[in-house]
Amino acid sequence: MPGERENLDSDRPTKKAKVSAAINGASKDKDMDNPYLAHMYAPSIALSASQDLFAGLTRHQTTTAQAQQAEDGPLNPFTGTQLSRQYFDILRKRRDLPVHAQRDEFLRLYQENQILVFVGETGSGKTTQIPQFVLYDEKPFETGKKVACTQPRRVAAMSVAKRVADEMDVVLGEEVGYNIRFENNTSSKTLLQYMTDGMLLREAMNDPNLSRYSCIILDEAHERTLATDILMGLLKEVARRRPDLKIVVMSATLDAQKFQRYFGVKENDYNAPLLAVPGRTHPVEIFYTPEPERDYVEAALRTVLQIHGSEPEGDILLFLTGEEEIEEACKRLRAEGDEMQREYDTGPLKVYALYGTLPPNQQQRIFDPAPPPARSGGKPGRKVVVSTNIAETSLTIDGIVYVVDPGFSKQKVYNPRIRVESLLVSPISKASAQQRAGRAGRTRPGKCFRLYTEDAFKKELIDQTYPEILRSNLASTVLELKKLGIDDLVHFDFMDPPAPETMMRALEELNYLACLDDEGDLTTLGRMASEYPLDPALAVMLISSSEFQCASEILSITALLSVPQIFVRPPHKRKEADAAKAQFAHSDGDHLTMLNVYHAFKSQESGASQRWCLDNFLSFRSLTSADNVRNQLKVIMEKQEIDMKTTPFNDRNYYNNIRQALCAGFFMQVAKKMSTGKTYKTVKDNQDVLLHPSTVLGQESEWVLYNEFVLTTKNYIRTVTSVKPEWLMDIAPNYYDIDSFEKGEIKTALVRTAEKIARKAKLDKRTQK
């Protein structure tokens, strides 16, 4: 099937020209503008370090003794300034860390090998210390090449960078910095850079050899995020091309053999060298329930309160599955905690929520110390953190002594057959359960309360959590790989290869979206789409929005779709919330309703918008982050010189244009109403679905486009907008090729539409004559 999407715009030649002009313009001085390539033009790292302090140290030949001498000061070897007292305090503690005992061994293995697998248990100090060990050996100010350390999560990258900056007695953002999506806190002086794995992957797209770096440390590799997995495959190839690049893969679990084998040479049966450092953890007693719990949330809350009432001082970490559940649990815990304090004179209970979509400054609040006793001599206060599995590995909260583990987490699953990616609550793995328990033993011996039986632990939990690459839609990954120059997807060295069906689906989707041509090569559109940190469908929608003269609106909608739900619907105020939503409702669907909300939000005075959101049952947090995302995306669009001109609001095609632009990205997510009732059927995949009750759309719409397929006992489509079949056939003729449809209601309707279009064309011709 022909895949080029440009050619379907044949009836709009002017617009097409505009797009291609934009592309040419973008590619011309792209390199100069590209932040990822800035190093090619900028002078190499400014040398503020006085090299005398490193006298006698030869790169890749340093020893622990030499490095320690440099560390001991009195001048900071990296800045040449006097070291502070705080530095020496921390230094003393650093020398106590388990990794320090094996610094010699690490340096030897590091200097002898290109790739090193490092297994350090939690509490070993690997995340903060190993990059510094590397720094003293790499001497980046000599080579002008940096050391990078990747983290799977933004918060971790930020907080670790902050810690390491303190340890090295430098200002965060200068010698030590971090680079996360939407926030780059590095400078030309930066020697050590913490970053998310996704950011490094994005850099690799523009700089395939990662020539800015002399050493790359992949931390928390055991978490096996999508980006880490791709990076690992990529780094294996880069290592072959660049013998001077050193790679350290750090992991916390015991399946190090898998990493060793992966980074070894298969033919020679050679495994990558391994260095293992024990962690300094305290014993954690594990408790199981004697019987399965009927309600794990209820049981979790009771357990927390019971601990608060009867156990000695120490903070509690409770794992729950999602934002809603966590917020609800926090509310109940706060109420119960207050009551306990009044009635039974327990210490004050401070409850914090923690989940990924929480803004970073609120995430930082969990590090606040536990509250003091309510009165002098009273019982000490206690901190409870209710978290998703974000607190399982990366985030370490000091003072946690009790862990409550119901055994569930929300995990992403992708079904390539019906093309549904959903977050489902499912049992965790044994490895996860042990990680969670380990969180209790960071500061002193702790206890872990598992809300399931020991039998369930042994029989119902899988050994290891599946890596993300097996659980995701790979469309954007394949696009990234293509952009990275990897064409042979079959033989790309995945640590865990994704299921062939998933790969097929991804390729097929990209072909329909015209990001890949029929030979499987990246098209111009595909290259542009890969610049966006978005799902390809959204990126394509954004790029083609200028054809429909609604780029600004589509940009807003894209931003709104990539943040958490903007409508708030508290359980006890459902009616009011629905009424508030009705004010913004647009009869054509939810996308346009969201746009109305955004416009109203932007028209508020900046001081009053938070109050306004509260009054209108909107999430201020989501809307502000949508605003932020919008700005980021706008920068990319402007760089690609996409025409931001929009249709005037009073134009009667204002909303129609937007709806058509939506079709350009989401023509594969369309459902048609069945004649038999209120059910809809998804086009091509033939799944029976219902409109989600939250929609503002009435039941009369024949064809709807949806953003999300929600998998529950009933299949719902959420965030829907009504569209016209004529548009779909016009915008995506390859997908809506009538011959490819099975006999049935949808095909009949499409045939009828085609006839209608033909008749109209004939009529137009006649009138023209």
Partner 1 sequence: MGLAGPSKKRKISHDPNNTKWTRSAGFGHKMLLSQGWSPGTILGPDPNNPHHTAASQVGIKVMLKDDTLGLGCRGNQEDTCTGLGDLQSLLGRLNGKTDESVRSEEDTRRKMWIEGRYGMRFVRGETLESTWVTRELKKDAEEEGKETSTEDAEEEGEDEAESSEGKKEKSKKEKKRKDRDSKKKKRKSSDSDDDEDANSSSSSEQDRESDKAKRKADKALRKAEKQAKKERKEAKRLRKDEKRRAKAEKKALKSAIAASSAPSSTASTPPAMPSAEPEPLPKLDKKSKSLPNSLHGSGTSTPVNGRQALRSKWIAQKRMAVMDAKALNEILMIKAA
Which amino acid is present at 355? Y
Name the minimum Å distance from CB 344 to partner 1: 8
Determine the Cα–Cα distance for residues 409 and 432; give it in Å rounded to an integer: 10
Identify the DSSP state of 498: P
Give the side-chain half-sphere CA count within 13 A for 441: 21
Name the minimum Å distance from CB 133 to partner 1: 19
105 binds partner 1 (CB under 8 A): no
Stretch that binds partner 1, among 83-91, 487-495, 596-604, 622-630 (CB under 8 A): 487-495
Name the minimum Å distance from CB 276 to partner 1: 6
Name the minimum Å distance from CB 311 to partner 1: 9
Residue number, 310 or 675, with CB nearest to partner 1 = 310
Footprint on residues 437-476 left by partner 1 (CB under 8 A) = 437-438, 441, 448-457, 459-460, 466, 470-471
314 binds partner 1 (CB under 8 A): no
Q: Select from 667, 650, 761, 682 the least CA-distant residue to 723.
A: 667
Residue number, 405 or 547, with CB nearest to partner 1 = 405
Judged by CB under 8 A, which of 198, 273, 399, 416 binds partner 1? 416
730-769 mask for partner 1 (x: CB under 8 A)? ------------x---------------------------
CB 242 within 8 A of CB 272: no
Stretch that binds partner 1, among 287-295, 546-554, 567-575, 650-658 (CB under 8 A): 287-295
Which amino acid is present at 535? D
First vs last Cα of the chain: how many Å apart?
35
Determine the Cα–Cα distance for residues 548 and 544; give it in Å rounded to an integer: 7
655-694 mask for partner 1 (x: CB under 8 A)? ------------------------x-x--xxxxx------
Judged by CB under 8 A, which of 415, 596, 604, 694 binds partner 1? 415
Give the side-chain half-sphere CA count within 13 A for 466: 16
Residue number, 449 or 703, with CB nearest to partner 1 = 449
Which amino acid is present at 393? T
C-beta atoms surrounding 534 within 10 Å: 22
CB 249 within 8 A of CB 221: yes
CB 393 within 8 A of CB 223: yes
Which amino acid is present at 758? A
267 binds partner 1 (CB under 8 A): no
Stretch that binds partner 1, among 18-26, 133-141, 503-511, 589-597 (CB under 8 A): 503-511
Kindly state the helix (H) or strand (E) to which residue 344 belongs, with its residue range.
Answer: helix 323-344
Q: What are phi and psi of 31, to 5 degrees?
A: -65, -35
Name the minimum Å distance from CB 355 to partner 1: 18
Name the minimum Å distance from CB 428 to partner 1: 9
Judged by CB under 8 A, which of 13, 43, 290, 648 binds partner 1? 290
CB 339 within 8 A of CB 305: no
Angle, CA 650 vertex, CA 649 and CA 654 arms, to 5°: 55
Which amino acid is present at 508? E
239 binds partner 1 (CB under 8 A): no
Stretch that binds partner 1, among 15-23, 296-304, 582-590, 697-705 (CB under 8 A): 296-304
Residue number, 252 or 534, with CB nearest to partner 1 = 252
> What are residue 420's DSSP bridge partners?
415
Judged by CB under 8 A, which of 90, 109, 374, 418 binds partner 1? 418
Footprint on residues 354-413 left by partner 1 (CB under 8 A) = 406-408, 411, 413
2 binds partner 1 (CB under 8 A): no
Dihedral in degrees, nearest 10, Cα atoms 578, 581, 583, 584: -160
What Rg do the C-alpha atoms of the chain give, in angstroms? 28
Name the minimum Å distance from CB 253 to partner 1: 9
Alpha carbon of residue 726 to chain centroid: 36
Judged by CB under 8 A, which of 574, 714, 759, 762 binds partner 1? 714
> With contacts defined by CB under 8 A, how many residues of the chain interact with partner 1?
108
CB 289 within 8 A of CB 283: no
Q: What token pair was written down for 377?
A: 């001599």
Stretch that binds partner 1, among 99-107, 603-611, 710-718, 755-763 (CB under 8 A): 710-718
Footprint on residues 172-231 left by partner 1 (CB under 8 A) = none
Kindly state the helix (H) or strand (E) to which residue 275 belongs, with its residue range.
Answer: strand 274-277
Judged by CB under 8 A, which of 25, 35, 309, 373 binds partner 1? 309
Q: What token pair was written down for 523?
A: 């098209």
Total residue length of the chain: 769
Residue number, 159 or 734, with CB nearest to partner 1 = 734
Name the minimum Å distance from CB 725 to partner 1: 21
Stretch that binds partner 1, among 239-247, 304-312, 560-568, 756-764 (CB under 8 A): 304-312
Residue number, 22 or 479, with CB nearest to partner 1 = 479
424 binds partner 1 (CB under 8 A): yes
Judged by CB under 8 A, which of 409, 511, 530, 701 binds partner 1? 511
266 binds partner 1 (CB under 8 A): yes
496 binds partner 1 (CB under 8 A): yes
Residue number, 30 or 258, with CB nearest to partner 1 = 258
3-state SS string over 50-109? CHHHHCCCCCCCCCHHHHHHHHCCCECCCCCCECCHHHHHHHHHHHHCHHHHCHHHHHHH
Judged by CB under 8 A, which of 77, 131, 152, 279 binds partner 1? 279
Determine the Cα–Cα distance for residues 150 and 230; give it in Å rounded to an integer: 13
Determine the Cα–Cα distance for residues 766 and 358; give it in Å rounded to an integer: 60
Which amino acid is present at 552? S
499 binds partner 1 (CB under 8 A): yes
Would you call 358 exposed, middle or buried from its count of C-beta atoms within 10 A (0-12, 13-18, 19+)?
buried
Residue number, 170 or 250, with CB nearest to partner 1 = 250
Judged by CB under 8 A, which of 38, 500, 737, 755 binds partner 1? 500
C-beta atoms surrounding 357 within 10 Å: 15
